[in-house]
Structure 1
C-alpha cells in the first residue's frame, strides 16, 4: 500500500507541476547538449515529468545471461520479452526487471539492441541501436508524452518516443529506429520452446524485483499522466490492443477468437501470461494471455501489445480491427 500511495503522490505532484515546467528553457540546465530548437513537438505542454529525473530510472547496459535451467526465481506465468535473431541463441528479458529499468542495451551477435518497456503504456518494443553509422546507447529521460516513456541516447542526447521509435527532440529529430520482432510471453512458454535459451539475470541494483509498483493500474478507468482523447468505439482506455503498423486488434476479441488472420497478418492468443500491472506481486496478476504475430509466410512480425489510449494517441487515424 505504501508503494501505491507514494506513486499516487508523485503523480499528483507531477500533474500540478507540469504546466510550469513544460518549457525547454527550464530543462536546459539538465540537458545542456540537447538541441531543443530541432523538434517535431508542436506544443511543449505535451511533455511531462514522470517524477524521476534523468537516469532516475537506471537503464541497463551490461546485462548478464544464464541458461534457462539455471533460473529458479521467476514464476512460470511471469511475463518476459523474447528476442529471437536467426543464428543466435534466443534471449528473454523478464518484465520483473524491465519494470524497474525500462531499457536494456544489449548485443545479440552482430546486432546491438535496445529492449524497452513502458509500464504506463504496457508497450514492450525492441529496437536496433544502429543509427546513421553510430551505435546508440539509450537511457530513460524521466519525461513522458501521452503517458509514454521518452528515451534519450547518450551519444547526442536526443529524445526519442518509445512507442513509435522516432526521435522527437535534438539532432536525431525525425529519425526512425528499426523495430525488431519481439514479443511478450510467459516464462513457461519461453522455456518450453527454448530449452537451451538464455535469460537475463537479476541486475545488481537494490530493487523489489518481482513486485509491481503500479498495483491495479490496468484495472483503472483512466491512465495516469494522460489528458488526451480517449479511444473511440467504446473501447476501454486500458484495454490491451495488438498493434501492427497503424492497425490495432483489441485483446478481448483475440482472446475470444483465439486465432485471427486478416490484413495479411496472422495473430494467435494463448493463455498463461500474468499481467505485469495488476497485482502487487507480478506472478499473482490475472491471466491476460500471450500473443504471437506472423506474416503470411509464418515469419515473426514486429508489433506491440499496448493500451488502447496510447494507440489512439500516437495513431489517431489508425484502424481499429474490431471484427464483425
Structure 2
C-alpha cells in the first residue's frame, strides 16, 4: 500500500506517522523506500501533492547543506516503520499504572505551552523516536538516540497538520523523518525537508528542555508524563513489543562508535560523545561543553550579536538563554543556595539563575522573584543538548567555548 494511503487509514484525526535512527532493518542500502521522500524529484510547493509531476529545480543551499540531499548520502538503519512512531499519545501523573519504571534519574524531554507541562521519557523515545502530539497546536516531539538530540516543532506544513514518522533512514547519523502531507524526507536536526516535494521547507521549532524526571517534576508538579505503549497508540497499533525498562543503546554514549558506521567524523577538538549545547546566531555557531559549563557555574557570553547565558544543573542538564531582559543585557550568576559545585547536591532541587535582585528557574527560564519576576528568559538554542559529533556535523565551522 502506498505510504500516504496507509497513513490516511490510521488514527490521530485520520493521520499517522513514522521516523527512525537505528533498528532491526538492513543497514547501508541507501534505498529511500516509499515514494515522494525517495523520488529525488521535488515538486514546487510543500502543500499536499496532487500527483502532477514538476521539473526538478536546481539544488539550493541551506546553511552549509546543498538540497536536495543526494540519495547516496542516506543510509538505512531500520525498515520503514520498523521503529513505530507514537500517535494518539496517552498521559498520566506518573507510571504507577504501567509495568515499567520511571525513576527520578530517568531523562525526559519537557514541553510547556500555556501552562500545560508534559514530559516525554527517553525510555519511550529510545524505542519510538517520534511522538505526534497536540497542545494549542499540533506538536512534534523527536529524539535521535544516535545523536543524543531532542527537537520539538510545530508539525504543520503550509498550515496543514502533518503526522511524522520514522523513515528508517539516517543522514549524518541523524534521524530522517517523513510526513503524511507531502511524503517528503526531513532531517531531525536540520528541522528541514531534505528530499521530496517539501525540500527546503523549515519546521517552526518550539522551546523544550532535556532534564531528569525528578528535575522536571520539581519545576512542574502538575506535569503529565507520556505512557508507553500499549497505553499510547503507535503506527503499528496498541501493542507492547518493547521492554521500556531496557535501554537499547546502553553503553553507546561511552563507546567510540558513531552512529551505525557510516559517519567519517574527524573533528577531534572534543570527544565525539561529549555532551554540548549549541547556539547559532548571526552566522556564528558555538558549542558549550557540559563539563566546562559545570566548572564555570554560569557562562555569560555573546554569539554573533546575541548575548547568552549558559548553565547546567547538578544532573548535567544544559540550558542556554538570551541575556536580554526588559530591554537590558543582564549579567547572570548561579544562586549560591542551588550551586552545588561538587555535584552531590539534591538532584531534584530547582536550580536558580540570578541577575541583580531577580531570579529565574534554571531549567525553565521562568521568573521567580524580584523586580523582573514577571519575565521569562527566551531560549538561545533551538535543539537540546546533544553529542559533539552531531553538532559539529551540522555546524562544521563551529567554535567551542573555553573558560
**TM-score under structure 1 length normalisation:** 0.82
Structure 2 match to 1:213? 248
SS at match of 1:190: helix
SS at match of 1:81: strand
Return the match for 1:271 from 285, 310, 314.
314
Return the match for 1:228 from 256, 264, 273.
264
Instruction: Give the ranges of 4+ consecutive aligned residues of structure 1 lying more than 4 Å apart after TM superposition.
Output: 8-11, 68-72
Please tell me whether residue 99 in structure 1 is matched to residue 126 in structure 2: yes
Count residues in correspondence: 285
SS at match of 1:97: helix
Are the counterparts in 1 of residues 149 and 383 from structure 2 also a CA contact under 8 Å? no
Structure 2 match to 1:277? none
Q: Which has the higher helix share?
A: 1
Structure 1 match to 2:72? 45
Q: Residues 213-239 of structure 1, C-alpha deviation per residue, up to 9 Å, x if partnerless?
A: 112111112313332232242x11111
Structure 2 CA distance for partners of 1:46 and 1:69, relative to 1, 3 Å: closer
Unaligned runs of 5+ in 1: 1-7, 273-288
Please tell me whether residue 310 in structure 1 is matched to residue 390 in structure 2: yes
Please tell me whether residue 65 in structure 1 is matched to residue 104 in structure 2: no
Whole-Å separation in 2 of the counterparts to 1:169 and 1:43 = 8
SS at match of 2:86: coil
Q: CA deviation at 1:303?
A: 3.2
Are the counterparts in 1 of residues 23 and 83 from structure 2 also a CA contact under 8 Å? no
Q: CA deviation at 1:42?
A: 4.8
Structure 2 match to 1:251? 290
> Could you tell which deviates more after superposition, 135-144 or 305-314?
305-314
Whole-Å separation in 2 of the counterparts to 1:224 and 1:210 = 22
SS at match of 2:385: strand
Are the counterparts in 1 of residues 40 and 68 from structure 2 also a CA contact under 8 Å? no
RMSD, aligned CA: 2.2
Kindly name which structure, 1 or 2, has the bigger radius of gyration based on alpha carbons.
Answer: 2
Whole-Å separation in 1 of the counterparts to 2:190 and 2:137 = 20
Q: CA deviation at 1:45?
A: 2.5
Are the counterparts in 2 of residues 83 and 182 from structure 1 also a CA contact under 8 Å? yes
Q: How does 1:78-157 map to 2 (within 5 A)?
A: 78-85=106-113, 87-108=114-135, 110-157=136-183
Whole-Å separation in 2 of the counterparts to 1:118 and 1:182 = 15
Q: CA deviation at 1:70?
A: 5.7
